[in-house]
Amino acid sequence: METSMWVSLLATGVIAGTPILFAALGEILTERAGILNLGVEGMMLVGAVTGFLVTYSAQNEWAGLAMATIAGGLMAFIHAFLCITLRANQVVSGLALTIFGSGLSGYLGKNLIGVPLTHTFKPVPIPGLSEIPVIGEILFKHDLLVYFSYVLIALIWFFLFRTKAGLELRAVGENPAAADAAGLNVFATRYACVIAGGMLAGIAGAYLSLAYAPSWLENMTGGRGWIAVALVIFGMWNPVRAFFGSFFFGTIDVLGFTMQTLGIQIPSFFLKMLPYVFTIIVLIVVTRETKTRRVASPEALGLSYNREER
């Protein structure tokens, strides 16, 4: 494979990995607060259809992105209310939201299939940086949302590991009773993190319908929400590692197209399986690594908190 082909593959991998990255960053915030959100796929679908619908109606992609963010946040609010206030089972709530999001998006988008979209997020090369050989082509010739994801990685990492608020958030996810005793508002912290995570899932969905493949197709997320949940484990709840994971999975996702371009005859069903096969393999490897290195998930992940049982 020529160098230009490799560079093109990796650059496309960054684009394909961006929606997974947004969703994974949101899930990291959510799980760091001790809440498991398996409704990411449904939130991405609602964000995708909302972003497309509003962009098509308003002829403004930024309006579509804003409404997709709000839609994702509203879906997450439902999850937060069920799991934090009502202390419902977090797995059941997440799965229910995924099913709900799939049905709702299909209903809202039934008349949008095949509709062309003129206002989309287009590539904006960064002057200077985009001229760097290889690296510039791979990282700095994309749309503004890709660049926003770069900034978001740094901001979330700094927030989690270099600020007092980030330390308090992690304390809530590790031991909510001790955090509550120390004067922290466990419920407000969890609500904020779950809603923020849902908003990022909404952005992830909007990226699919407004930038990656500007269109609307029913269930167009194609399981990327589930890959994002797995990516959180792969990244060991660290935003920087989540970036490399999303880049890896994005590259695997587009590898099939590159192989077809080179004339390599492989069944299309196998090529579509590749990202999910690698997800399973990576989860097995990372799970073994976490046991040997004693890197564990937040202690209170998936557990409801009741102040009366402190």
Q: How far is it between the farthest Cα atoms of the chain?
A: 65
pLDDT at 260: 67
pLDDT at 309: 67
Distances in Å between the Cα of 168 and the Cα atoms of 5, 31, 175, 244, 310 are: 46, 14, 10, 26, 18
Instruction: Give the distance from CA 176 to its chain's centroid.
Output: 25
State which residues form the domain around 267.
1-291
pLDDT at 290: 61
pLDDT at 296: 66
Give me the CATH number covering residue 127. Answer: 1.10.3470
pLDDT at 99: 97
At 67, list the tokens: 């409404």
The whole-angstrom separation of Cα 86 and Cα 101 is: 21
Count the Cβ atoms, other than its own, within 10 Å of residue 56: 19
Helices 164-174 and 3-32 cross at an angle (nearest 10°) of 70
SS3 130: helix
Q: Shortest CA distance to 64 belongs to which of 189, 257, 208, 256?
A: 208
Low pLDDT (below 50) residues in the chain? none
pTM: 0.94
Residue 301 lies inside a defined structural domain of this protein? no
The whole-angstrom separation of Cα 156 and Cα 28 is: 9
pLDDT at 262: 65
pLDDT at 291: 59
At 308, list the tokens: 């009366």
Q: In this structure, what are the phi and psi dihedrals at residue 25, rounded to the nearest 5 degrees?
A: -65, -40
pLDDT at 234: 85
Residue 241 lies inside a defined structural domain of this protein? yes
Number of domains making up the chain: 1
Residue 266 lies inside a defined structural domain of this protein? yes
Residue 183 lies inside a defined structural domain of this protein? yes
Residue 303 lies inside a defined structural domain of this protein? no
C-beta contacts of 143-148 below 8 A and 24+ residues apart? 143/211, 145/18, 145/65, 145/121, 145/203, 145/207, 145/211, 146/14, 146/15, 146/18
Q: Shortest CA distance to 309 belongs to which of 159, 87, 107?
A: 87
Tens of pLDDT, residues 268-293 = 677 677 777 877 887 777 777 665 55
pLDDT at 215: 94
Distances in Å between the Cα of 109 and the Cα atoms of 67, 114, 279, 284 are: 15, 10, 29, 37
The whole-angstrom separation of Cα 75 and Cα 64 is: 16
Residue 305 lies inside a defined structural domain of this protein? no
Task: Measure CA of the first residue to CA of the last residue in the chain; give whole Å.
Answer: 61
Q: Shortest CA distance to 223 belongs to which of 148, 281, 274, 285?
A: 274
Residue 307 lies inside a defined structural domain of this protein? no
Tens of pLDDT, residues 11-62 = 999 999 999 999 999 999 999 999 999 999 999 999 999 999 999 999 999 9
Residue 6 lies inside a defined structural domain of this protein? yes
Asked if 29 and 155 count as a contact pair (C-beta separation under 8 A), the reply is no
Asked if 10 and 281 count as a contact pair (C-beta separation under 8 A), the reply is no
